[in-house]
Amino acid sequence: MPPFRAKQILEWVYEKGICDPEQMTSLSKRDREVLTAEMTFLSGDTLRHQLATDGTQKLLVQWRDFTAGEARANESQPAPTAALPILGQPRIDEDSKRQTECVMIPTETRKTACISSQVGCPVGCRFCASGLGGLDGNLTSGRIVEQVWRLSRLKDVGRVSNVVFMGMGEPLSNFKNVTGAIRTISALWALGISARKVTISTVGLPQAITKLAEEFDLPVTLALSLHAPTDEIRRKLIPWAEYTTIDDLLAACQRWFEKTGREITLEYTLLRDVNDRPKHAERLAEIAKTIRANVNLIRYNEVNGIEFERPRNTDVLEFQKILRESSINVHIRASRGRDIAAACGQLRHESAGAA
């Protein structure tokens, strides 16, 4: 095809939201036939679409022709954890092993796409539904971008302003595909969302954090899923914490800041009577003072079959107060979409259980 066809096709897909070659009327009949035969524009199917009372929308997407071996994780990552037991619930079924979730979170000023980077998750955080069945495979760059495209086509959404890799999976263990997807997401010929409005949330792989800092064309925001103020507690909550220490992670984050000049976000999920006591807040304040960081407190969203509980509001506010008294920039993340199981992996987990 002549070179200008590429521009026409991209305009149809990204500006007009058309992925059916037969509807690309500016192309010749022959070119439309070739595209239909040779190119895959969308490789997933939306199985469920839920709308919460607060306007949050969630999609459960099943990927066609997906196999666990189609995109291997980085060789430098720790070995994937074994699948965790689902207490009193069926195991993830075969169809679920091809499914991921993505969420549209609207506010007055932003429309944020929360997307997945893997099918399942290798990390196996004890409080999270994403890793209940272990890791089934990496998403390709195209399938990562497709999630943003699908969310942007939902009713009343329009242009997506922000993207966060806070869905299923550990983004930095799918490094090549995630960075490739961000380059498309931020490209002017594609979605045109500035890389500065893209956040990568990671449980913490020091070597990958250092490598990401060297991707100078991707000025993304880095969020470290800390979730505990000591190595002892963190290792009980996050199996991968056995491979590193909080000090190692802080050193990697410091190198990140020195190379990029961008502040780190420390994400901290509050679990009732586990990591939400005043002594935990005091230790977290000490940690946050060692680097240029802000703290994002997250109230735990309960998951069927997992023993952890949502914190009491009084304890959350006291936790925040202690951090603020230590001059830490801290915010409590608003809970969104609780009535549609909007937390990571919940919809896939509950759909498999219902089946």
Active site residues: 101, 344
Asked whether the beta carbons of 160 and 107 are under 8 A apart, the reply is no
Q: For residues 290-327, b (16+ Cβ closer than 10 Å) or e, as one string?
A: ebebebbbbbbbbbebbebeebeeebbeebbebbeeee
Asked whether the beta carbons of 237 and 280 are under 8 A apart, the reply is no
> How far does CA 292 lie from the centroid of its chain?
23
> What is the rounded distance in angstroms from the CA atom of residue 202 to the CA atom of residue 139?
16
Asked whether the beta carbons of 20 and 35 are under 8 A apart, the reply is no
Count the Cβ atoms, other than its own, within 10 Å of residue 37.
8
Residues near 166 by Cβ (< 8 Å), separated by ≥ 6? 114, 199, 201, 223, 344
* Beta strands 57-63 and 44-51, pairing class: antiparallel
Beta partners for 111? 106
> What is the rounded distance in angstroms from the CA atom of residue 221 to the CA atom of residue 205?
15
At 133, which helix (H) or strand (E)?
A: none
Strand, helix or coil at 154? coil
- The sheet that has 293-299: what strands, in order across it? 44-51, 57-63, 99-106, 111-114, 162-165, 198-202, 221-225, 264-270, 293-299, 330-332
Asked whether the beta carbons of 326 and 43 are under 8 A apart, the reply is no
Asked whether the beta carbons of 324 and 281 are under 8 A apart, the reply is no
